[in-house]
Structure 1
Amino acid sequence: MKHQDPAPGRPVTTAPPGPAPSPGPLGRLGTWSVRHFKAVLAGWLLVVVGLGAFAPQVTSALSGAGWQADGSESVKVRQVAEQHFAGNASSALQIVVAADRPVSEPDVQQVITRAGEIAAADPRVSTVVAPQPGATVSPDGRTAVLLAGAKASPDDMVRAADDLKGPLNALSGEGVDVHATGASVLWSDFNKANHDAMMKSEIMSWPVTLAILVLAFGSLVAAGLPLLLTMAGLAASAGSLVLISHLFPVSVWAMNFAMMFALALGIDYALFLVVRFRAARAAAARRNPGQDGRLAGATAVAETMDTAGKAVLLSGATVLVSLSAVMLVPSPAFRSMAGGIMLAVLFVLAATLTLLPAVLGRLGHRVDALALPWVKSGGHRSPRFAAWGERLWRHPLRYGALALAALIALAAPVIGLRTAMPSITVLPEDASARAGYTAVQQAFGPGAPGALQILTPTEGAAGVAADLAATPGIAGVMPAQPAADGSGWSIVQAVPTVDPSSPDLGRTVDTLRAELPSDTLVGGAAVENLDLQHLLTEKTPLVIGVVMGLGFLLLLVALRAPLIAALGTAASLLSTGAAFGVARLVFQDGHGAGLLGFTSQGFLDGWAPVFFFAMIFAIAMDYTVFLLASAKEHYERTGDPREAMVGALAHSGRVVFAAAGVMVAVFFTFALSGPLPPKEMGIVLGVAVLLDAALVRLVLLPVLLRLTGAAAWRTPAWLDRVLPKISFSHD
Structure 2
Amino acid sequence: MSTTAPRAQTTTSAPAPADRPSGPIGRLGRYAATHTRMVFIAWAVVAVALGAFAPRVEKALSGAGWQANGSESVQVRDLVKREFAGLNSTGLMVVVHSPAQTAASPAFQRTIGQVAARLKGDGRVASVSLPVAGQTISADGHTAIVMAGARADANTMVRAADDLKAPVTALGTKDVQVALTGASGMWSDFNEANRSAMMRSEMFSWPVTMGILVLAFGSMVAAGLPLLLTILGLVASAGSLFLLTKVSPISIWAMNFALMFALALGIDYALFIVMRFRGALFGQHENRVDAVTETMDTAGKAVLFSGVTVLISLTAVMLVDSPAFRSMAVGIMLSVLFILAATLTLLPAVLGRLGTKVDNLSLPWVHHGEHRSARFAAWGEYLWRRPWALGLGTVAVLGALAIPVFSLSTGMPSIKVVPKTDTSRQGYLLVQQAFGIGAPGALQVTAPAADAARVRALLAADPSIAQVTPPRPGASGQVVLLQAVPKVDPSSKQLGTAIDRLRATLPAGTMVGGAPAENHDLETELSAKTPLVIGVVLGLGFLLLLVALQAPLIAAIGVLTNLLATGAAFGIAKLIFQEGHASSLLGFEPQGFLDAWGPVFFFAMIFAISMDYTVFLLSSAKEHWDRTGDAKDAMVGGLAHSGRVIFAAGAVMVAVFFTFALSGPLPPKEMGIILGVAVLLDALLVRLLLVPILLRLTGTKAWYLPRWLDRILPDVTFGH
TM range (shorter): over 0.9
How far apart, in 1, do the equivalents of 2:452 and 2:17 lie?
Answer: 86
Q: Are 1:438 and 2:434 matched, yes or no? A: no
How far apart, in 1, do the equivalents of 2:369 and 2:12 lie?
Answer: 18
Residue 600 of structure 1 corresponds to: 590
Residue 312 of structure 2 corresponds to: 321
For the Cα contact (< 8 Å) 2:412–2:596, is it kept in 1? Answer: yes
Deviations for 1:50-69, whole angstroms, at most 9, x for unmatched residues? Answer: 00110111110000000001
Residue 653 of structure 2 corresponds to: 663
Percent same amino acid at aligned positions?
A: 64
Q: Report how far residue 16 of structure 1 moved.
A: 6.7
How far apart, in 1, do the equivalents of 2:374 and 2:172 lie?
Answer: 67
Structure 2 residue matching 1:262: 3-state secondary structure: helix
For the Cα contact (< 8 Å) 1:284–1:299, is it kept in 2? Answer: no
Map 1:518-667 → 2, pairs under 5 A = 518-667=508-657
Structure 1 residue matching 2:457: 3-state secondary structure: helix
Q: Are 1:382 and 2:382 matched, yes or no? A: no
Residue 359 of structure 1 corresponds to: 350
Name the amino acid aligned to 1:334.
F
Deviations for 1:421-463, whole angstroms, at most 9, x for unmatched residues? Answer: 1110111111111011011111111110010100100011111
For the Cα contact (< 8 Å) 2:273–2:295, is it kept in 1? Answer: yes
Deviations for 1:572-610, whole angstroms, at most 9, x for unmatched residues? Answer: 000000000000011111111111111211111111000
Name the amino acid aligned to 2:280.
A
Residue 271 of structure 2 corresponds to: 271
Residue 147 of structure 1 corresponds to: 147
- Indicate the larger mover: 383-392 or 597-606: 597-606
Structure 1 residue matching 2:95: 3-state secondary structure: strand
For the Cα contact (< 8 Å) 1:630–1:728, is it kept in 2? Answer: yes
Name the amino acid aligned to 2:194.
N
Structure 1 residue matching 2:180: 3-state secondary structure: strand
- Indicate the larger mover: 203-212 or 624-633: 203-212
Deviations for 1:288-345, whole angstroms, at most 9, x for unmatched residues? Answer: xxxxxxxx11110000000000000000000000011000000000000011000000
Name the amino acid aligned to 2:144.
A
How far apart, in 2, do the equivalents of 1:597 and 1:230 lie?
Answer: 30
Deviations for 1:237-270, whole angstroms, at most 9, x for unmatched residues? Answer: 1000000011000000000000000001000000
Name the amino acid aligned to 2:55.
P
Q: Report how far residue 15 of structure 1 moved.
A: 3.0
TM-score after normalising by structure 1 = 0.96
How far apart, in 2, do the equivalents of 1:19 and 1:348 lie?
Answer: 27
Q: Report how far residue 34 of structure 1 moved.
A: 1.2
Gaps of 5+ in 2: 1-5
Structure 1 residue matching 2:285: 3-state secondary structure: helix
How far apart, in 2, do the equivalents of 1:619 and 1:609 lie?
Answer: 15
Residue 69 of structure 1 corresponds to: 68
How far apart, in 2, do the equivalents of 1:334 and 1:566 lie?
Answer: 28
How far apart, in 1, do the equivalents of 2:315 and 2:280 lie?
Answer: 35
Q: Report how far residue 465 of structure 1 moved.
A: 0.7
Residue 447 of structure 1 corresponds to: 438
Map 1:54-453 → 2, pairs under 5 A = 54-100=53-99, 101-285=101-285, 296-453=287-444
Q: From the superposition, tell whether residues 281 and 145 of structure 1 become closer, same or farther in structure 2 (CA, over 3 Å).
A: same
State how many pairs are aligned: 712
Name the amino acid aligned to 1:656.
I
TM-score after normalising by structure 2 = 0.98
How far apart, in 2, do the equivalents of 1:389 and 1:551 lie?
Answer: 26
How far apart, in 1, do the equivalents of 2:698 and 2:637 lie?
Answer: 16
Residue 708 of structure 2 corresponds to: 718
Deviations for 1:553-572, whole angstroms, at most 9, x for unmatched residues? Answer: 00001111101101110000
For the Cα contact (< 8 Å) 2:124–2:151, is it kept in 1? Answer: yes
Name the amino acid aligned to 1:235.
V
For the Cα contact (< 8 Å) 1:120–1:127, is it kept in 2? Answer: yes
Q: From the superposition, tell whether residues 701 and 670 of structure 1 become closer, same or farther in structure 2 (CA, over 3 Å).
A: same
Deviations for 1:615-635, whole angstroms, at most 9, x for unmatched residues? Answer: 000011111000000000000
Deviations for 1:54-85, whole angstroms, at most 9, x for unmatched residues? Answer: 01111100000000011111111001011111
Residue 686 of structure 2 corresponds to: 696
Deviations for 1:393-419, whole angstroms, at most 9, x for unmatched residues? Answer: 001111111111110010011111000
How far apart, in 2, do the equivalents of 1:536 and 1:204 lie?
Answer: 33
Q: Report how far residue 283 of structure 1 moved.
A: 4.7
Q: Report how far residue 527 of structure 1 moved.
A: 1.0
How far apart, in 2, do the equivalents of 1:491 and 1:18 lie?
Answer: 80
Residue 705 of structure 1 corresponds to: 695
How far apart, in 2, do the equivalents of 1:19 and 1:254 lie?
Answer: 43
Structure 2 residue matching 1:224: 3-state secondary structure: helix
For the Cα contact (< 8 Å) 2:283–2:370, is it kept in 1? Answer: no
Structure 1 residue matching 2:330: 3-state secondary structure: helix
How far apart, in 2, do the equivalents of 1:667 and 1:431 lie?
Answer: 26
Name the amino acid aligned to 1:407.
L
Q: Report how far residue 667 of structure 1 moved.
A: 0.5
How far apart, in 2, do the equivalents of 1:173 and 1:115 lie?
Answer: 12
Q: Report how far residue 484 of structure 1 moved.
A: 2.0
Q: Report how far residue 518 of structure 1 moved.
A: 2.2
Q: Report how far residue 284 of structure 1 moved.
A: 4.7
Structure 1 residue matching 2:351: 3-state secondary structure: helix
Name the amino acid aligned to 2:125.
V
Q: Report how far residue 14 of structure 1 moved.
A: 7.9
Q: Report how far residue 96 of structure 1 moved.
A: 0.6
Q: Report how far residue 485 of structure 1 moved.
A: 3.1
Q: Report how far residue 13 of structure 1 moved.
A: 7.0
Q: Are 1:686 and 2:676 matched, yes or no? A: yes
How far apart, in 2, do the equivalents of 1:500 and 1:693 lie?
Answer: 40
Name the amino acid aligned to 1:587.
F
Structure 2 residue matching 1:160: 3-state secondary structure: helix
Deviating above 4 A after TM superposition, structure 1's stretches of 4 or more consecutive aligned residues are none
Residue 3 of structure 2 corresponds to: none
Structure 1 residue matching 2:178: 3-state secondary structure: strand
Calculate the aligned-residue CA RMSD, in Å: 1.4
Q: Report how far residue 18 of structure 1 moved.
A: 3.7
Q: From the superposition, tell whether residues 558 and 19 of structure 1 become closer, same or farther in structure 2 (CA, over 3 Å).
A: closer
Q: Report how far residue 285 of structure 1 moved.
A: 2.2
Name the amino acid aligned to 2:312.
V
Structure 1 residue matching 2:318: 3-state secondary structure: helix
